[in-house]
Amino acid sequence: MKINDKLSKELNEQITKEFYSEYLYLAMAVHFEDLNLEGFANWMYKQATEEHEHGMKILKYLVERGSSVKIDKIDEPKFDKSSIKGIFEQALKHEQFVTKSIDNLMDIAIETNDHPTKNFLIWFVDEQVEEESSVEKIINYLDMIGDKGNGLFMLDRELSKR
């Protein structure tokens, strides 16, 4: 069964969103490298790798279903670098944007009665819960410790273990 054209178009757009997410997290990682916060950088590098894997997963799914894949332009990632907590708040806002996009994909899959795609998307729905939760946890830690001092050093060491 071929994927509905509208759903195929939206899945292609999701690939671009996932690869943009990879670029965003790479840019954030490099910024943390510049601040000598290797643990924070490590966390972002791992996040970037996950986003790449998400994009590839959707790409391969489209190929498997016989749909066309369109590789689109990825915009330069931009974010406010003024605070560590602020960077994670921006990451959370971005993950919430991705969650809405995944929810929209699920809505279209339900609307078009595409059971294989609904099943495929369940993994992404669950993954977004984890994505948002992990960023919120770091924001909560930063609320407790602030952007400087021993607590920040300890959190940086903890994030290096990811």
List, for residues 102-128, the tens digit of each pLDDT value.
Answer: 999 999 999 999 999 999 999 999 999
For residue 114, what pLDDT is reported?
96
Q: Give the count of alpha carbons within 13 A of 79, CB side only.
A: 26
Over range 44-49, report the average pLDDT: 98
CATH number of the domain enclosing 88:
1.20.1260.10
Q: Is 74 contained in some domain?
A: no
Residue 25 has pLDDT above 80, yes or no: yes
pTM of the model: 0.95
Give the torsion sign (CA, 116, 100, 11, 50). negative
Give the Cα separation of 7 and 104 in Å (integer). 10
Structural domain total, the chain: 1
The identity of residue 121, as a single letter, is L
Q: Is 28 contained in some domain?
A: yes
For residue 29, what pLDDT is reported?
98
For residue 1, what pLDDT is reported?
73
Q: Is 17 contained in some domain?
A: yes
Q: Where in the sequence is the domain holding 130, given as residue range(s)?
A: 5-69+80-159
Q: What percent of the chain has pLDDT over 90?
A: 95
